[in-house]
Amino acid sequence: MKKKLTSVAAAAVAAALAMSLSACSGPAAATDGGQEATELRYQGSANNVTLPEIAQDLGFLGDVKLTWVGNTTSGPQDIQSAATGQTDFGGAFTGAVVKLVEAGAPVKAVVNYYGEDEKTFNGFYVKDDSPIRTARDLIGKEVAVNTLGAHSEAVIDTWLEKNGLSPEEIKQVQLVVLPPNDTEEAVRRGQVDVGVLGGVLQDNAIAGGGLRSLLSDYGLFGSFAGGQYVFRSDFVAKNPDTVRAFTTGVAKAIEWERTTPREEVIQRFTQIIDKRNRGESTKNLKYFKSVGVPNAGIITDADFTRWDTWLKETGIVNGHITPSKYYTNDFNALAKG
């Protein structure tokens, strides 16, 4: 089962050129005098509040300020933007981080930023009357995912492999890219056989009835961290204190969301969206359940080795991976106790 993702490789090639440019330009670049950057360019998420945004609002970033440059379309796109110098940090599924590094992009993961638990997870849904009940039933069927080469693809491929399907049989399960907002309707209309849903889209779909869960990432792995924020290596070298402020601030935000009453978290999210004045809706914030990220965002080898088989079968790595190649906890003060 070899699936090559040319977009990630292309981003790595582009990063080589961008590195020389971003090293001496842009609002977040360190000065020649050695003063570190105090602004970080980033992409947000419409109608949502990201961990760096809540960290800034709570004062956890200190003197570091975030500069919003637009909204991301996917995790792989977000870390590609960071690798090519369009932004200073980005976040994506662990497997996408590995792909980018293996393709030659000089980036390093510094903190986990999303994860799954019993309250917050991604589910794979079929219609109630669907004949699909086992992994083998998916052969020749279509599964809607938000993007290729990311979290949902790795989960479904891992589930199929664990349930005895061969690489050739897994190839016959067709992944179809659909915007998450269109996935539920596509399943109900029979345009696809299975759809991945999470968050408010999952809640609304379940409330509407007529769908059942085939599997979930939480059911497959239990609680786990799914992705990391990354910085370019040159940026980290020139701005270690800024990266430390960011990473520790995000870690504190994770713990704040985990320990603060849900109603207070939602209220804070609402205030942030209202005051940034981007014409967004806050109606879906009421569906917030949990931050999902375990243990202050501290990265572990297991966050990477979990996907070892999938990474090898997709041709991203040869042999077993070396997790330390992709991440560091050196900038997360909460990792030091």
* Other beta carbons within 10 Å of 163: 12
Q: Domain residues for 285? A: 6-115+224-336
In whole angstroms, give the CA distance from residue 196 to residue 91: 20
- pLDDT band per the 50, 70, 90 thresholds, residue 217: very high
Report whether pLDDT(13) > 80: no
pLDDT tens-place string over residues 149-201: 889 999 999 999 999 999 999 999 999 999 998 999 999 999 999 999 998 88
Query: Of 168, 186, 221, at which residue does a domain stop?
Result: 221
Q: Are residues 284 and 303 in the same domain?
A: yes
Per the CB < 8 A criterion, the answer to whether 94 and 307 are in contact is: yes
Looking at residue 246, what DSSP letter applies?
Answer: H
Q: Are residues 232 and 332 in the same domain?
A: yes
pLDDT tens-place string over residues 244-257: 999 999 999 999 99
* Other beta carbons within 10 Å of 324: 9
Q: Are residues 231 and 95 in the same domain?
A: yes
User: How many domains is the chain built from?
Assistant: 2
Residues 6 or more apart from 33 whose CB is under 8 A from it? none
Report if residue 149 sits inside a domain: yes
Query: Of 168, 196, 221, at which residue does a domain stop?
Result: 221
Q: Are residues 214 and 282 in the same domain?
A: no
Report whether pLDDT(26) > 90: no
The continuous run of DSSP H or E covering 145 comes out as strand 142-145
| Average pLDDT across the chain, whole number | 90
Segments of 55-116 assigned E as strands: 65-71, 89-93, 107-116
Q: Are residues 282 and 306 in the same domain?
A: yes
In whole angstroms, give the CA distance from residue 13 to residue 29: 21
pLDDT tens-place string over residues 135-154: 999 999 999 999 888 899 99
Report if residue 1 sits inside a domain: no
Per the CB < 8 A criterion, the answer to whether 89 and 229 are in contact is: yes
Q: What is the pTM of this model?
A: 0.87
pLDDT tens-place string over residues 90-145: 999 999 999 999 999 999 999 999 999 999 999 999 999 999 999 999 999 999 99
Kindly report the CATH number assigned to the domain that includes residue 50.
Answer: 3.40.190.10
CA distances for 256 relative to 18, 48, 114, 309, angstroms:
35, 17, 14, 34
Query: Of 152, 187, 221, at which residue does a domain stop?
Result: 221
Q: Are residues 203 and 331 in the same domain?
A: no
Query: Which of 55, 188, 192, 161 has the alpha carbon at shortest distance from 111?
Result: 55
